[in-house]
């Protein structure tokens, strides 16, 4: 299932160059993943915390294609790309209101036990969201 998250660029997101600062894109991507987890698995931050679960980003590959400006309406698509035993990857893309590609990212996450501070097998609720996904990157 592809998750779609809408974001409007606000003044706080803009840097001295007059466009969205590169570090802000990481926040946009995280918001997209958070929404995907909630939409697909019903797992939000609180329910994961109650179950002593978490996800940790261990790698992000990101390409900036075009700048985003104040007031732009962005669409973050979160696409299940690859599922392992303890890790999973999302392809994420950000488009502006003109459907122009701004950013592409490949994000690798691991399922995590916050108490034991170690990776654990991916839970079934997340595995379900990866069913029928094509491997985007190997």
Predicted local distance difference test score (pLDDT) of residue 41: 84
pLDDT averaged per 10 residues, the chain (length 138): 95 96 97 94 89 96 98 97 96 98 98 97 93 58
Check residue 134 and give its pLDDT: 57
Q: Which long-range contacts (CB under 8 A, 24 or more apart) does 97-102 make?
A: 97/72, 97/73, 100/66, 101/65, 101/66, 102/64, 102/65, 102/66, 102/67, 102/68, 102/74
pTM of whole model > 0.85? Answer: yes
The structural domains of the chain, ordered by start, are 3-129 (3.10.129.10)
Would you state the pLDDT for residue 132?
64
């Amino acid at each position: 299932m592809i998750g779609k998250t809408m974001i409007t660029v606000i003044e706080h997101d803009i840097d001295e160059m007059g466009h969205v600062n590169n570090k802000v894109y990481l926040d946009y991507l995280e918001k997209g993943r958070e929404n995907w987890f909630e939409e697909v698995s019903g797992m939000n931050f609180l329910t994961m915390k109650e179950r002593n679960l978490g996800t940790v980003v261990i790698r992000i590959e990101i390409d900036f294609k075009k700048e985003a400006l104040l007031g732009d309406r962005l669409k973050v698509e979160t696409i299940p790309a690859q599922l392992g035993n303890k890790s999973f990857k999302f392809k994420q893309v950000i488009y502006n209101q003109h459907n122009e590609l701004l950013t592409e990212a490949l994000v690798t996450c691991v399922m995590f036990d916050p108490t034991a501070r170690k990776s654990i097998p991916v839970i079934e609720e997340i595995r379900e969201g990866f069913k029928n996904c094509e491997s985007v990157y190997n």
